[in-house]
Structure 1
């Protein structure tokens, strides 16, 4: 009886660890993992097991800016089960990252983008056990060409974050309720006399949509968008960006 009471308040309870096959992935990639559940000091009933792909999102609430944790994708792994004291149970997992997953490895000096896998054991009347596994999200080949093309145009990335809202461009819109902004500033070799360029992606399997917000000395902000096939060359991306930035 005493051991069951301890388990109900999260003392001596079950533990969970998600062991990722690889931690460096790109949007649209398949991720795989082995979820290891270890029983505590007494038998416990687990009401379910779930995984979520999480990111940090900047939001505004009542004129106050704050950062919240937001799920981009969720996976239900297991329904109710009982785990015995000291029992080790392993559950394999495989899932696909959304194409709109923010790029956390982006080279920004002020990089506020964080992406991780959260694992939760739903233990009735207990403190949830949880496990957080960071993911290193690198750009897709097409996204990487856009980043290189911005460098070729003389712009340096200085900040990256994720904001609440929806992106809309010509014939495309984002779907996750948030979007990443990569903020660029001109260096001494910059073209076109812009103060700042904000780059956002809405990627998909066959094409990558790009939305640019241009901050000019005169005339205020303006928006440009383009859609790039995922087999495009760096030279073609650079040429298209120069056309939009000019």
Structure 2
């Protein structure tokens, strides 16, 4: 029976399982993510070689495709990006029905996507068990803008703009293979009737918040063009805000910058 149970455990049946408990309800990029990794023993004793954690998100990428003819098409694929990965070097044996706790503090990268619209971020936890199916746990995170970006969004909202869509789009020239793109539409205020939509890409590091803008004044619509323009170096509406700036000042500077171009 013991050998049979070990065989089942190697296939994932009656094996140890992992459950990661996130200590915070809401995070902002740059925060410390505190977790309690709980390992629950199965029906047999098992050796755990390591605990692996990965912070992940999805992004969209347009990939050229061909169906064997002369016509070239573009297919939009959903890719997975590992934003950060950690290894907890805890090798241990867990007895049947035992529970072990491992606490960890993980630094959330500055450009972790904001979880609004279609943007999702999750923490993937995996137990490394030799010659067996590795147990996994997947936990969604709620990520909100940092104070500087929140100040910009607040100013845009007060000026009558509303977020319509948020997506992570593939782009070249950045540490990550994508950028997060925010699409705003004017519903009232000074830009209503002047703009059809405003697209913004935000990129943050320790020193500053970098912003790229594209404004559509016509009816054809931009919708996803900004990341492509960035990749080709064709976008020139750009401003940089120091990290020490007060959020309200950040919003005021962005509105003044947009007015100067439009």
TM-score by length of 2: 0.82
Q: Tell me which protein shows more helix as a share of its residues.
A: 2
Q: Tell me which protein shows more strand as a share of its residues.
A: 1
Contact 1:23–1:134 (CA<8 Å) still a contact in 2?
no
Other-structure match for 1:240 = 254
Other-structure match for 1:69 = 80
C-alpha displacement of 1:240: 3.4
C-alpha displacement of 1:82: 2.5
C-alpha displacement of 1:101: 0.6
User: CA offsets per residue over residues 146-179 of structure 1, 9 Å max, x none?
Assistant: 1112223332110011122236xxxxxx312221
Other-structure match for 2:131 = 125
C-alpha displacement of 1:97: 0.5
C-alpha distance in 2, partners of 1:102/1:236?
Answer: 20
Other-structure match for 1:27 = 29
Other-structure match for 2:240 = 227
Other-structure match for 1:83 = 94
C-alpha displacement of 1:99: 0.3
Other-structure match for 1:140 = 146
Q: Which moved more, 1:9-18 or 1:157-166?
A: 157-166
C-alpha distance in 1, partners of 2:171/2:128?
Answer: 30
- Equivalent position SS for 2:5: helix
Other-structure match for 1:171 = none
Contact 1:152–1:238 (CA<8 Å) still a contact in 2?
no
Other-structure match for 1:49 = 51
C-alpha displacement of 1:205: 2.4
RMSD (Å), alpha carbons: 2.2
C-alpha distance in 2, partners of 1:236/1:122?
Answer: 45
- Equivalent position SS for 1:25: coil
C-alpha displacement of 1:196: 1.7
C-alpha distance in 1, partners of 2:250/2:171?
Answer: 30
Q: What 5-or-longer segments of structure 1 have no aligned partner?
A: 106-110, 168-173
TM-score by length of 1: 0.87
Contact 1:46–1:121 (CA<8 Å) still a contact in 2?
yes
Q: What 5-or-longer segments of structure 2 have no aligned partner?
A: 66-73, 227-234
Q: Which moved more, 1:230-239 or 1:65-74?
A: 230-239
- Whether 1:198 aligns to 2:209 is no
User: CA offsets per residue over residues 118-160 of structure 1, 9 Å max, x none?
Assistant: 1111223332211111111011100101111222333211001
- Whether 1:188 aligns to 2:201 is no
C-alpha distance in 2, partners of 1:68/1:243?
Answer: 34
